[in-house]
Amino acid sequence: MHIFQYYLCFKGIVFRESLRFFHQRERFFSALVRPLVWLAIFAVGFRSFLGVSRPLGQPENWPYPVSLVPYELYITAGLIAMIQLFNGMQSSLSMVYDREMGSMRTLLVSPFPRSFLLVSKLVAGVSVSILQVFAFLLIALFWEIEPPLIGYLTVIPALFLSGMMLGALGMFLSSAIKQLENFAGVMNFVIFPMFFASSALYPLWKIRESSEILFYFCSYNPFTHAVELIRFSLYGQLNETSLVFVFIFLAIFLMLAIYGYDPSRGFITKKKI
């Protein structure tokens, strides 16, 4: 297999995932409705008595140009990461479904290395999630969520990295899950703790005021770093600590996913493909 054939294979996988995505319009809309409900109801409801102000002595934790931001502006980064988290989990759910239905076999018997096939599938899923994020940002303009124009560009690499990290986590989970029915339970143990124990809805320094233990838990939550990477990049800035964390978690989850789908070692060998 030479490089051009790798390109053809990658293109084919991305094309197929895009087709499936456009055939499942409900999936697109439901992925948008979820963060919009949070933005239009939850955040607006809290706006009257919640604003988030710059933390004293911690300028590195504040990307916004003003000292006090309305709550809906604060949680936008968290909601964007939420879209990616759900997309990653949705992709892994469809991998479990594909495995149960048998169509996963078509992918796995390709002569290309399995790691390449899995990464291509991840990139395809992330591309779809980036489209969803931009659709969300477009609608969010109605709530005056207006990051600087450059932010729409600088957020793309952050979205790619955080999407890959969350997608790799979903892929690893899909390799470890035996049946489709088990997926919902696992999601409850992954999505909710990841989302609520993060900086998506409240800043970490506020959490620290209430619970030191929870603060440390949130500080090492990969989702927190996805949120912060997106938050800063949306204002044309780089949160270096979060970038490092996202890279590390991406590497770990990707290795686990590749291990999970390895025919000689992974969890996939222990169940029906």
What is the maximum span of the chain, computed from C-alpha positions, in angstroms? 61
For residue 70, the cross-strand partners are 51
The answer to whether residue 251 forms part of the interface with other proteins (CB under 8 A) is no
Q: How far is the CB of 266 from other proteins (least distance, A)?
A: 10
The answer to whether residue 179 forms part of the interface with other proteins (CB under 8 A) is no
Angle between helices 149-176 and 71-101 (to 10 degrees): 40
* Residues near other proteins (CB under 8 A), total: 32
The answer to whether residue 263 forms part of the interface with other proteins (CB under 8 A) is yes
The answer to whether residue 9 forms part of the interface with other proteins (CB under 8 A) is yes
Q: What letter does residue 39 receive in the DSSP assignment? A: I
The answer to whether residue 180 forms part of the interface with other proteins (CB under 8 A) is no
Q: Which of 26, 56, 68, 264 binds other proteins (CB under 8 A)?
A: 264
Say how far apart CA 194 and CA 250 lie, in whole Å.
15
Say how far apart CA 88 and CA 171 lie, in whole Å.
8
If the CB atoms of residues 19 and 255 are measured against other proteins, the closer one turns out to be 19
Q: How far is the CB of 16 from other proteins (least distance, A)?
A: 5
The helix/strand count (H/E) of the chain reads as 12, 2
The answer to whether residue 102 forms part of the interface with other proteins (CB under 8 A) is yes
The answer to whether residue 110 forms part of the interface with other proteins (CB under 8 A) is yes
The answer to whether residue 131 forms part of the interface with other proteins (CB under 8 A) is no
Query: H/E element holding 70?
Result: strand 68-70
Q: Which of 6, 143, 205, 215 binds other proteins (CB under 8 A)?
A: 6
The answer to whether residue 119 forms part of the interface with other proteins (CB under 8 A) is no
In this structure, is the dihedral angle defined by the CA atoms of residues 89, 191, 29 and 145, taken in order, positive or negative?
Answer: negative
Q: Which of 49, 108, 125, 168 binds other proteins (CB under 8 A)?
A: 108
The answer to whether residue 128 forms part of the interface with other proteins (CB under 8 A) is no
Percent of the chain as helix, strand, coil, to the nearest 5: 75, 0, 20
Q: Are strands 68-70 and 51-53 parallel, antiparallel or unpaired?
A: antiparallel
Interacting residues toward other proteins by CB under 8 A = 1, 4-6, 8-9, 11-13, 15-16, 19-20, 23, 101-103, 105-113, 117, 263-264, 269-270, 273
